[in-house]
Amino acid sequence: MKTPGRTGGGLFGRAATPVGTWLKIASGEPVEIMAYAGFDFVVVDLEHAPLDMQTAYRLISSAAALGMTPLVRVPDKTPSTIQKILDAGAMGILVPHVDTVEQAVAVGQACRFPPHGVRGAGGTSRAGAWGLRPNAEYLETGNDDVLCIPQLESVEAIKAAPEMLALDTVDAVFVGAADLSMSMGLTPSSPEVVELIGSAIEAAHAAGKRCGLAFGSAPVRAARAVREGCGFVLLSNDTSMLAEAARGLVASFREAEN
């Protein structure tokens, strides 16, 4: 297994900072729109959206066909869930609420084939081109290209970040600022939260890896964070983009009407 430097099908090998968005709508049209808009990757959100496995499978396939890197935020840490998502062709997973090094070890092993992990072989799945991909290539790609990204959403997780990032099976971390701040009884902009996020970014740099953040509809803030060391960003999501555009359109009409 090549370590370090897995790129998620090239996502982390690009010169420009990867920018993505969340997918929450159970339809193929938003995937196409995000591709035409120029996003580098999408994250199918199985944690906070009512999407099932079959829908995730279709969205993963569409994203890959349109030239975007398909990632999935899984709803839990179980190896069986991770197995199905990777068999479906996802190039990486985001795992919510990874708070300890032990949890990061388990998640990382669920993403890798033996002897580096416990992922089961499923070469007749989409990830193995329905059995047409040579088995050695299937196993190599599964170990070398798939990204494992724990989400840090507690003070405990942030403190464990250096040890998590030292694991060969962990490729990056993602700080869930909303949950982190909520667990502290603060807001994402509170100085204490900002300091913790900064420490996670520093830990990622020290490990030669990346730390990602989400910014909603705030591209200027995202760009500033990149200048300060953030390694990949998520902007808004398909449902919020639709909601904001719809509300803005109606508001503009009402203003013009009067």
Q: What is the CATH number of the domain that holds 144?
A: 3.20.20.60
* 38-87 pLDDT tens trace: 999 999 999 999 999 999 999 999 999 999 999 999 999 999 999 999 99
Residue 123 to residue 134: CA distance in whole angstroms: 9
Q: Is the residue at 6 inside a domain? A: no
Cis status, amide bond into 79, omega within 30 of 0? no
* 176-205 pLDDT tens trace: 999 999 999 999 999 999 999 999 999 999
| DSSP SS3 for 165 | helix
Q: Is the residue at 5 inside a domain? A: no
Q: Is the residue at 163 inside a domain? A: yes
Total number of domains in the chain:
1
Q: How open is the CA angle 154-157-158, to the nearest 5 degrees?
A: 90
> Is 23:31 a contact under the CB 8 Å cutoff?
yes
Q: Is the residue at 214 inside a domain? A: yes
**116 is annotated as an active-site residue:** no
Q: Is the residue at 1 inside a domain? A: no
| 215: Cα separation from own chain's centroid | 13
Range of the domain at 218: 11-257
Q: Is the residue at 138 inside a domain? A: yes
Q: How large is the average pLDDT for residues 108-124?
A: 95
* 131-151 pLDDT tens trace: 999 999 999 988 889 999 999
